[in-house]
């Protein structure tokens, strides 16, 4: 039986494969809001940065963040048909739900974008959906999910792909599980000392609920 009763997922870079879209559209946002563009040769180095370090590099003032986030969500909505979940994510979420783990999403993205990428069936697995979080506003959203679920912080884990996810989890008193396939580089996430580190989507199921048998295997046990 899993040690966690509640798994709170980030969306972009954790469930949804949106980093390629982000790179394609980022410089349009930079031009519109007058902050520094990202050059192709900078991408890998910048993946090691925290959100605050990234803002400093881009010379992006904090007061512009809500405007940038608004446009990013709107532009993503127009391209939403091009975005997909990472392979295996839907199956992973179903396995966790079947094992009795309560699921939640906390994200800066919009509810409509999240719903459309997850699809109605997978979206229906989410007991709690907190969208539109500010860049550094996830701690309050985590605490709201804990309060509404009634599950103690000690039995919850936040699963994400950014340093700010780790920081918010610590501030909310919950464990952090880092994924290797998202926006932030794996070494930078490991430096945050996550409770769990997931190299693959399947690792989440293994770590939280153990092996999941295929239908053809269930009769052999």
The predicted-structure confidence for 24-66, as pLDDT tens digits, reads as follows 898 999 999 999 999 989 988 889 988 889 889 999 998 998 8
What is the reported pLDDT for 210? 80
**pLDDT (tens digit per residue) in 137-154:** 999 999 999 999 999 999
**pLDDT (tens digit per residue) in 103-138:** 999 999 999 999 999 999 999 999 999 999 888 899
Residue 213 confidence class, pLDDT cut points 50, 70, 90: very low
- Summarize the confidence of residues 86-105 as an average pLDDT: 96
14: number of CA atoms within 13 Å, CB side?
Answer: 28
Q: Hey, is 8 helix, strand or coil? A: strand
DSSP 85: B
What is the reported pLDDT for 2? 58
What is the reported pLDDT for 207? 95
Average pLDDT for the chain: 91
Structure tokens at 163: 């340093």
Contact 88, 158 (CB under 8 A): no
CA–CA separation, 120 vs 198, rounded Å? 26
Nearest to 189 by CA among 50, 61, 62, 72: 50
pTM, full prediction: 0.90
pLDDT at residue 86 greater than cutoff 90 = yes
Residue 100: Cβ-neighbour burial (10 angstroms; 0-12, 13-18, 19+): exposed
**pLDDT (tens digit per residue) in 168-202:** 999 999 999 999 999 999 999 999 999 999 999 99
Topology of 6-17+83-215 in CATH?
Rossmann fold (3.40.50)
Q: Say how many C-beta atoms besides its own lie within 10 A of residue 219's C-beta.
A: 7
CA–CA separation, 7 vs 113, rounded Å? 20
pLDDT at residue 221 greater than cutoff 70 = no
Q: Per-domain residue ranges for the chain?
A: 6-17+83-215, 19-82
């Amino acid at each position: 039986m899993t040690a966690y009763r509640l798994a709170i997922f980030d969306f972009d870079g954790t469930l949804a494969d949106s980093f390629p879209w982000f790179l394609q559209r980022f410089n349009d946002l930079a031009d519109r809001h007058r902050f520094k563009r990202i050059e192709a040769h900078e991408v890998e180095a910048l993946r090691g940065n925290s959100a605050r370090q990234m803002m400093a590099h881009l010379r992006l003032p904090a007061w512009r963040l809500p405007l940038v986030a608004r446009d990013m969500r709107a532009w993503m909505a127009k391209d939403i048909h091009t975005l997909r979940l990472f392979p295996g994510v839907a199956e992973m979420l179903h396995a966790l739900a079947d094992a009795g783990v309560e699921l939640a999403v906390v994200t800066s993205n919009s509810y409509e974008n999240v719903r459309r990428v997850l699809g109605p069936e997978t979206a229906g697995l989410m007991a709690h959906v907190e969208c539109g979080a500010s860049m550094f506003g996830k701690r309050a959203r985590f605490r709201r999910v804990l309060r509404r679920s009634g599950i103690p912080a000690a039995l919850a884990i936040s699963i994400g792909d950014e340093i700010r996810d780790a920081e918010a989890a610590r501030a909310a008193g919950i464990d952090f599980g880092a994924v290797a396939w998202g926006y932030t580089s794996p070494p930078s996430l490991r430096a945050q000392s996550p409770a769990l580190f997931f190299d693959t989507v399947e690792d989440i199921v293994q770590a939280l609920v153990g092996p999941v048998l295929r239908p053809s295997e269930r009769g052999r046990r």
